[in-house]
Structure 1
């Protein structure tokens, strides 16, 4: 059991905040020397804090499992982000030759979308209510530029993914002595 008398420690810059998971399913934040809930881990993630969840006994990295648990709870309550069709399509990629590419593609697209959202939030700070109504109109050049940039980046990521697949296919076929026409 952790010692509650230790003073709060902040992880060094760039290091993830370590959270230990005990067999009783409790989560212990080593930075604050307190037990925290899954909702509090969620808030840390939302706040941009990098977290790493470890099994208290074995030291096994449980971060992905905890993040998936948070997503599952979010999907079960309120308005889900993923439709059944999207979830089914994601499942279909497991074990498929494209699995690695799909993960990278989704990761890059979510990162680009996050960057667009951050730029939008930054630009929104200087917008008056009148400008805001114009901005929300899809004819707004600012909105078109942001979405155009996102779509172009998404297209580039997909094109890069296709090029990588073509190279790997050529290498694989070449190993069998087959040349692509």
Structure 2
């Protein structure tokens, strides 16, 4: 089992990663999260755990910088939930929901990996061939048939009598 990485936050607000003996940025901490690295952020002076505070900073930057996940209405509902009798239940619900979402994402990526690993033109060709085969089956045309068969049925020689 991997040891939890310790990041120290100094009074000058700089973050120091003890595992690599170097100062890091919030962007570096975000990469640790994305890579699944377990870590804790500790105030260098008070030894207080600041991990949640740093994670909230990263979320705030993400919400400001790109397309937000949290709408204003959702944020207002979350604020209203603080201190309520159901706060612990909401915490558990949100954690379980995110675990389920992450599992669904994993399964989705697993199932679509085959598409990514193949040549896109090959995939499109296969799809087009299947669609063409289905269309031909529905219309009663054979491979290489240009629709002349249906014209032959409707075209009568002058000697043919109507049925």
TM-score normalised by the chain length of structure 1: 0.63
The aligned counterpart of 1:126 is 114
Cα deviations across residues 69-114 of structure 1 (Å, max 9, x unaligned)? 1101111111111101111111111011110000100010001100
Q: Give runs of ≥4 in structure 1 deviating > 2 Å.
A: 127-131
TM-score, L = length of structure 2: 0.70
Match of 1:102 among 90, 103, 111: 90
Q: Distance in 1 between matches of 2:49 and 2:10?
A: 13
Matched, 1:48 2:31: no
Residue aligning to 1:77: 65
Which of the two has higher C-alpha Rg? 2
> Which residues of structure 2 form unaligned runs of 5+?
128-163
The Cα shift of 1:47 comes to: 0.8
CA RMSD of aligned residues (A): 1.5
Tell me the distance in 1 between the aligned counterparts of 2:43 and 2:99: 28
The Cα offsets for residues 11-32 of structure 1, whole Å up to 9 and x where unpaired, read as xx33211100000000000000
Q: State how far apart, in whole Å, the 1-side matches of 2:69 and 2:86 are.
A: 23
> Equivalent residue of 1:20, what SS?
strand
User: What do the CA deviations read for 1:113-169 (whole angstroms, capped 9, x no partner)?
Assistant: 0011011111111135548xx8xxxxxxxxxxxxxxxxxxxxxxxxxxxxxxxxxxx
Which SS does the other structure have where 1:125 is aligned? Answer: helix
Total equivalences in the alignment: 120
User: What is the alpha-carbon distance in structure 1 between the residues aligned to residue 72 and residue 93 of structure 2?
Assistant: 20
Flag structure 1 segments of 5+ consecutive residues without an equivalent: 1-12, 135-181
2:80 aligned with 1:92: yes
Residue 14 (structure 2) aligns with: 26
Q: Secondary structure at the match of 1:81?
A: coil
- Distance in 1, matches of 2:87 and 2:18, equals 35
What is aligned with 1:9? Answer: none
